Copies of this chain bind each other. A is one copy, B any other.
Amino acid sequence: MKPSRFATLLASGAASALFAVPPVHADEGMWTFDNFPAAKVNAEYGTDINQAWLDHVRGAAVRLSVGCSASTVSDYGLVLTNNHCVVGCAQNLSSSDDDYYTHGYTANGLSEERKCPGMNGEILMSISDVTNRVTAAGAGKSGSDLVKARNAVTSRIEEENCGDDPKWRCQVVNLYHGGQYKLYKYRRYSDVRLVFSPGVQTAFFGGDPDNFNFPRYDLDSAFVRLYENGKPVATPDHLVWNPAPPKAGEPVFVAGNPGGTDRQLTVSQLETQRDLTLPITALQLSELRGRLIRFSEESAEHKRIAQDLLFGLQNSYKVYFGRLFALKDESFMAKKQAEQTALRQKVAALGPKLPKDFGTPWQTIDTAQSSVKAMYLPYRFVEGGPMGSELFGYARELVRAAAEREKPSADRLPGYADADLPRLQKSLFDEVPVHADLEEVTLEFWLSKAREYLTADSPETKLLLGKESPESLAARLATSKLGDPAVRKALYDGGMAAIKASDDPMIQYALRIDPEARKLRSAWEEQVSGPLTTASEKIAKARFLALGDSIYPDATFTLRLSYGKIAGWTYRGTEVPPFTHFAGLYERATGHEPYKLDPRWIAAKDKLDLSTIFDISTTNDIIGGNSGSPLINAKGEAIGTVFDGNIHSLGGNYGYDAKLNRTVAVSAAAINEALRKVYGADAIADELTGKHKPS
């Protein structure tokens, strides 16, 4: 359940929110580390969570740039995460001869640990409040001007605190939809190497059909290692590894980076998702999925090159499908409406305590929804660009970087300030294989859908297609040489002059459509993001006045801690137990993908303890982005890694249902048993228990 590269498309329609009025439910919440309800949790679970515990866990929690979470688990920078968080890396390191995505990878010593292109790891070191400075910078401004002023002050704060030192990353985080702005300062590691992946047959046994289901039999775990100067890094902190069998009912914690939730959106914003953005997105993911499934069936090589993209796409499809049907539930929407009405009444009762310029923020948000409806399709296709095309992504970045770098740092688009350039350069210059065949599929799909949704006669379609067809244009653009990092570096270093002089078809294409894309972006800021920023901040502040701040903010892909216990659930009279065991894997196997066992597991069956606890269901409140998070016991030890939610958790984007929402993790016990008896990776297992120093 990693947040795919497509999630950003949808997020654009969901830029603002307000807070739920009713009290937080048992085990609900993705809490910031500076506002964790430790007293409440300790009282409820008999735990002893204190500042030292929190600092220790925070210092071991890693955010991966692929949209995942992770944790350090050894003295030598070893990092535990999910297999599905490293499959992109495995894919990028693979060739027709060595398909690490499918067969996995076990490094035999440090010399075999291989750098994951483009991957960063970040550890949060401090949080400080910058609300007043951010808010002041936009005072008196609105629309696009407000968005620009906020971007500028954000860049300045980040630069002042981290400069352009690639070892640090500063990020101003918007919490409570503008209720707070906090500066998160991270220690950054830009050399992350693949140590161990079990391979997809075992990590994703049951494949798409079993995704978001439980009982589950997946070893969705992997290890990477943080390096600096060519050597493993001893990070300041790490979790103790505990492969003992976990117990039903024991309290557990998840420290990770939930990607985003929409629990505090207004009803009108949810309706926009239900009636516009979710159906359009799901329908398009569905067709692209169909094209890629057939593409994958054409040859082993097509299967190999499409597998990572197809996995992400199917995962996203299921997420959006779940969200769509969660919002179609009338009783759920009625509850949201009641919550909103109650909040508005409480806020109205504040009377003169409200700021004088409070105005009618809910109405502003409702009005902005009409703008979303009017602008969504052109914005999505022209500014959003194609789903899954690396070539277009590079071209867009290069064209924009060239234009933006000609401006003062604070005036640039987000992501192009001086402090952002090291990360941008890494993502542009790291070598990643690009496959023209696959590019052609994604580009043709994008162009044909643009024509379908915008109609053949729209100015945007004419801009995107010119006199060409989606098929012919996609074929032409796929001949781009931007797959070569040297070409990208030369274009980046050469700036706008090099861009303009380039005869690369994708560069020229991105350059040609950029003015219109920027225009749509500005219009979106003017009519959507800007008004939503202002209105949401007003609601957030009024809410703090009315209700206090003992509540958690919507998820923002920043570090959060959730609490709960190991537990199954009961649905329509059927009780689902909280554990699965290795034995169940062998029972579920059919010999056909995706229920086909890895030959290594068939060979190891007799050696394995088949009663080993495999996967775990817990009550923790998580969402996409939490993938790879450590599952932590009361002592602060790693007892597993979180890789999924159950099917009921798909509605978790909008609210937590204590009875049904469940987190799914793979146990440290299972990982330990598999490392030793299936993969012959005793060195890793021994490093985890402190008995081995890697060399």
Which residue numbers of A lie inside 8 Å of B, CB to CB? 206, 208-210, 213, 275, 279, 282-284, 286-295, 297-298, 321, 324, 328, 441, 445, 451-452, 455-456, 467-469, 471-472, 590-593, 595
Report B-chain residues with C-beta under 8 Å of the C-beta of A290: 286-294, 445
A275–B331 CA distance with the chains assembled, in angstroms: 14
A445–B210 CA distance with the chains assembled, in angstroms: 17
Report B-chain residues with C-beta under 8 Å of the C-beta of A291: 290-291, 293-294
Taking a contact as CB atoms closer than 8 A, the residue among B469, B592, B595 that contacts A590 in the complex is B469
Report B-chain residues with C-beta under 8 Å of the C-beta of A456: 206, 209-210, 213
Tell me how far the C-beta of A474 lies from the nearest C-beta in chain B, rounded to whole angstroms. 11
Closest Cβ neighbor of A298 among chain B residues: B298
Question: Could you list 5 further interchain pairs (A-B, Cβ under 8 angstroms) beyond the known A287-B289, A468-B592, A469-B595?
Answer: A275-B328, A290-B292, A291-B291, A469-B590, A469-B593
Tell me how far the C-beta of A590 lies from the nearest C-beta in chain B, rounded to whole angstroms. 6
Closest Cβ neighbor of A275 among chain B residues: B328
A595–B471 CA distance with the chains assembled, in angstroms: 12
Q: List 8 A-B contacts (CB under 8 A).
A: A209-B452, A209-B456, A279-B324, A283-B286, A284-B286, A291-B291, A294-B295, A469-B592
Taking a contact as CB atoms closer than 8 A, the residue among B294, B297, B324, B452 that contacts A208 in the complex is B452
Closest Cβ neighbor of A473 among chain B residues: B592
Closest Cβ neighbor of A451 among chain B residues: B209
A189–B471 CA distance with the chains assembled, in angstroms: 43
> Which 10 pairs show the lowest CB-CB distances between chains A and B?
A290-B290, A469-B592, A294-B294, A287-B290, A286-B286, A290-B291, A286-B287, A291-B294, A209-B456, A275-B328
Tell me how far the C-beta of A606 lies from the nearest C-beta in chain B, rounded to whole angstroms. 24
Interface centre among A206, A467, A592, by most chain B C-beta atoms within 10 angstroms, is: A592
Q: Do A592 and B294 touch (CB < 8 A)?
A: no
A292–B293 CA distance with the chains assembled, in angstroms: 10
Report B-chain residues with C-beta under 8 Å of the C-beta of A455: 209, 213
Tell me how far the C-beta of A290 lies from the nearest C-beta in chain B, rounded to whole angstroms. 2
Closest Cβ neighbor of A590 among chain B residues: B467
Report B-chain residues with C-beta under 8 Å of the C-beta of A593: 469, 471
Report B-chain residues with C-beta under 8 Å of the C-beta of A208: 452
Q: Do A283 and B321 touch (CB < 8 A)?
A: yes
Report B-chain residues with C-beta under 8 Å of the C-beta of A328: 275
A591–B465 CA distance with the chains assembled, in angstroms: 13
Report B-chain residues with C-beta under 8 Å of the C-beta of A321: 283
Tell me how far the C-beta of A469 lies from the nearest C-beta in chain B, rounded to whole angstroms. 3
Closest Cβ neighbor of A289 among chain B residues: B287
Report B-chain residues with C-beta under 8 Å of the C-beta of A298: 298
Closest Cβ neighbor of A293 among chain B residues: B291
Taking a contact as CB atoms closer than 8 A, the residue among B279, B282, B441 that contacts A294 in the complex is B441
Tell me how far the C-beta of A271 lies from the nearest C-beta in chain B, rounded to whole angstroms. 9
Tell me how far the C-beta of A460 lies from the nearest C-beta in chain B, rounded to whole angstroms. 14
Report B-chain residues with C-beta under 8 Å of the C-beta of A445: 290
A297–B456 CA distance with the chains assembled, in angstroms: 21
Interface centre among A290, A293, A297, A441, by most chain B C-beta atoms within 10 angstroms, is: A290
A469–B206 CA distance with the chains assembled, in angstroms: 11
Closest Cβ neighbor of A213 among chain B residues: B455
Closest Cβ neighbor of A297 among chain B residues: B471
A469–B279 CA distance with the chains assembled, in angstroms: 29
Report B-chain residues with C-beta under 8 Å of the C-beta of A595: 469
A452–B206 CA distance with the chains assembled, in angstroms: 11
Q: Do B283 and A472 touch (CB < 8 A)?
A: no
Report B-chain residues with C-beta under 8 Å of the C-beta of A295: 294
Tell me how far the C-beta of A612 lies from the nearest C-beta in chain B, rounded to whole angstroms. 22
Report B-chain residues with C-beta under 8 Å of the C-beta of A292: 290, 294
Report B-chain residues with C-beta under 8 Å of the C-beta of A210: 456
Report B-chain residues with C-beta under 8 Å of the C-beta of A297: 471
Report B-chain residues with C-beta under 8 Å of the C-beta of A441: 294
Tell me how far the C-beta of A300 lies from the nearest C-beta in chain B, rounded to whole angstroms. 14
Tell me how far the C-beta of A591 lies from the nearest C-beta in chain B, rounded to whole angstroms. 8
Tell me how far the C-beta of A165 lies from the nearest C-beta in chain B, rounded to whole angstroms. 46
A350–B210 CA distance with the chains assembled, in angstroms: 56
Taking a contact as CB atoms closer than 8 A, the residue among B209, B284, B287, B592 that contacts A471 in the complex is B592
Closest Cβ neighbor of A470 among chain B residues: B592
A328–B593 CA distance with the chains assembled, in angstroms: 39
Tell me how far the C-beta of A628 lies from the nearest C-beta in chain B, rounded to whole angstroms. 25
Interface centre among A456, A467, A591, A593, by most chain B C-beta atoms within 10 angstroms, is: A456
Report B-chain residues with C-beta under 8 Å of the C-beta of A206: 456
Closest Cβ neighbor of A328 among chain B residues: B275
Tell me how far the C-beta of A617 lies from the nearest C-beta in chain B, rounded to whole angstroms. 16
Tell me how far the C-beta of A567 lies from the nearest C-beta in chain B, rounded to whole angstroms. 21
Closest Cβ neighbor of A284 among chain B residues: B286
Report B-chain residues with C-beta under 8 Å of the C-beta of A289: 287, 290
Tell me how far the C-beta of A443 lies from the nearest C-beta in chain B, rounded to whole angstroms. 13
Report B-chain residues with C-beta under 8 Å of the C-beta of A592: 467-469, 471-472
A372–B591 CA distance with the chains assembled, in angstroms: 35
Report B-chain residues with C-beta under 8 Å of the C-beta of A324: 279
A445–B287 CA distance with the chains assembled, in angstroms: 12
Tell me how far the C-beta of A526 lies from the nearest C-beta in chain B, rounded to whole angstroms. 21
A595–B456 CA distance with the chains assembled, in angstroms: 11
A656–B451 CA distance with the chains assembled, in angstroms: 27
A441–B284 CA distance with the chains assembled, in angstroms: 20
Interface centre among A208, A210, A452, A468, by most chain B C-beta atoms within 10 angstroms, is: A452
A43–B450 CA distance with the chains assembled, in angstroms: 47
Report B-chain residues with C-beta under 8 Å of the C-beta of A287: 286-287, 289-290, 293
A75–B694 CA distance with the chains assembled, in angstroms: 93
